[in-house]
Amino acid sequence: MTNRYDRVIVLTGASGGIGQALAREFACPGTYLALIARDEARLGPVMTEIRALGAEGEAAAIDIRDRKKLHAYLSDLDTRHPVDLVIANAGVTAGLGPNRTRESDADSDRQIDVNYRGVVNTVSGVVDAMQARGRGQVVLVSSLAGMRALPDMPSYSATKAAIIAYGHSLRGWLKPFGVSVTIICPGFVTTPMSARHKGAKPFEMPAERAAVLMRRAIERRRAFYAFPFLLAFGIRLQNLLPPILGDLFLGGFEAEIERDPRYREPSDR
C-alpha cells in the first residue's frame, strides 16, 4: 500500500509526560501519529493538540502488556498506513518498600511486564513489516538508570538496562535490512513520574526540552543518545571505576519513590 503521509509514527505512552511532549514535537502537516496508551480519556486532548498543529492520527487505548491486542492493532494500522517510525516510550517506575525494605512483587512484576515485555511487544508488532519493506526506524526509550543502576530502583534499573541490550541486538540484526535502531537514555525529566521521585534530580529539564533533544537524535538516526550530557558523561566515567568507588558516587542519588496512583496492590482491590 502506498502511504499518502510523509511519515507514519507509532508512539506508546502517549497520554502524558515525555510521550505527550513527543507527540506535540513530531506533530506537523504530513505526519500521521498513532498514539497508544491505556487511558483513553487522556489520549483525547493529545489528539486535539496534534491536529491543531497540522498532523493527523488516531488514538488507541491499549495496555502494551496485552500482546495479542497490541499486535492486532499494529497489524491493522500498518495495512492502512505503513509505519515508518515506532517510538517505544511507555514505562512505569517504582522503588523500594517502606523503610528501605525490598520492592514489592507486584511492583517488580509490573515494571518487567511494562518496561521490558511491553517494549518487545511493541517492536515485534511492527518490525516484520519494516524488514519486508526494507526501511523504518525503531526507537527505544531507556534511561540513564539503565546505564548505571540506582540502588533505590532495582527492577526499574534492570528493565531499562535490558532495553539497552535489546536495542543493541536489534540494531545489529536489522541494519542489513535498512531498518535503523535508536536507543535513548534520558535523565531526570519533569513529568508526573518524576514528581514521585523524592530525592536528588540533577539537571532535571522540562519534558518539552527533552522532546526536542530526543527528536533531534531520532532525526539523525543516532544509534545511542544519552542526556543531559554532563550527567551521562559522569555515569560513563564512574562505570570505569572499581565498583567500590562507583557505589560511593551513587550515594548522592538515594531517593524514595512514591507509590504510583494508577496501580493498586492485589491486597487493595
Burial 44-62 (b: 16+ CB within 10 A, else e): eebbeebeeeebbbebbbb
Cβ contacts of residue 88 below 8 Å, gap of 6+?
A: 12, 118, 119, 122, 123, 138, 139, 140, 141
> Which entry of 73, 116, 156, 225 is annotated as an active-site residue?
156
Instruction: Confirm whether 156 is a catalytic residue.
Output: yes
**Signed CA dihedral, 220, 226, 228, 233: sign only:** negative
Q: How far is CA 164 from CA 115, 126, 244, in A?
A: 11, 19, 24
Which grid cell sits at 260?
A: 504510583
User: Known catalytic residues?
Assistant: 156
